[in-house]
Amino acid sequence: MPEEGLDPILIQVTIPLPIPMIYAALTAPDQLSGWLCRSARVSPMVDGEYTLTFDEPVAFDSPGKIRQLTPDVDLGFTWFAPPEFAALMNRGPAPSTVYVRLQESPEGVDVTLEHAGWGSGDAWEEARSWHFHFWEGRLERLKDYLIKSAYG
């Protein structure tokens, strides 16, 4: 029986701004480059392109595809890892997936990110830990970017 993979990464941040503003920051290339990556190419439809180009923390491209898209509700896309984890994560039948859901809450909008598709073993634990810190930092950048955009 194969080993069970590691649990998905789950991170949530609450942003006190309207859902359409937050959703646009997840799907508009000019906004994605303000908080997530250096540049982005997005075709906002299921099976559309969701390619992100990064300069830091390392230079790499994630040539993903949108797998789920409900305007102002959620976005799911395939993820291709940076070079350090490419041999582990970017091969095989399915890359890992990132899913982001927006939901109203008393304090604003809860933005929940789930990154799934982890294997098991030390190398996978290292990759998962790197990605946890990566996504945690990026969601904080999203919140800062949007608040600065809204309020100056």
- CATH number assigned to the domain comprising residue 20: 3.30.530.20
Say if residues 117 and 94 touch (Cβ distance below 8 Å).
Answer: yes
Say if residues 51 and 36 touch (Cβ distance below 8 Å).
Answer: no
Residue 3 lies in a domain: no
- pLDDT tens, the chain, 152 aa long: 456 899 999 999 999 999 999 999 999 999 999 999 999 999 999 999 999 999 998 999 999 999 999 999 999 999 999 999 999 999 876 789 999 999 999 999 999 999 999 999 999 999 999 999 999 999 999 999 999 999 98
Residue 28 lies in a domain: yes
Amino acid at 128: R
User: Whole domain around residue 18: which residue ranges?
Assistant: 9-151
Closest CA to 90 of 117, 54, 51, 55: 117
- DSSP assignment letter at 92: S
Residue 4 lies in a domain: no
According to the model, what pLDDT value does residue 91 have? 83
According to the model, what pLDDT value does residue 152 have? 86
Residue 2 lies in a domain: no
How many C-beta atoms surround the C-beta of residue 87 within 10 A?
A: 10
For residue 120, give Cα distances in angstroms to 10, 114, 115: 17, 17, 15
Which helix (H) or strand (E) element contains residue 93?
none
Q: 51-54: long-range contacts (C-beta < 8 A, 24 or more apart)?
A: 54/82
Residue 138 lies in a domain: yes
Cα–Cα dist 37/31, whole Å: 9
Residue 100 lies in a domain: yes
For residue 16, give Cα distances in angstroms to 32, 38, 46, 54, 80: 19, 25, 28, 27, 30
According to the model, what pLDDT value does residue 3 have? 61
Residue 1 lies in a domain: no
Say if residues 27 and 129 touch (Cβ distance below 8 Å).
Answer: no
Go through the chain and tell me how many residues it has.
152
* Count of domains for the chain: 1
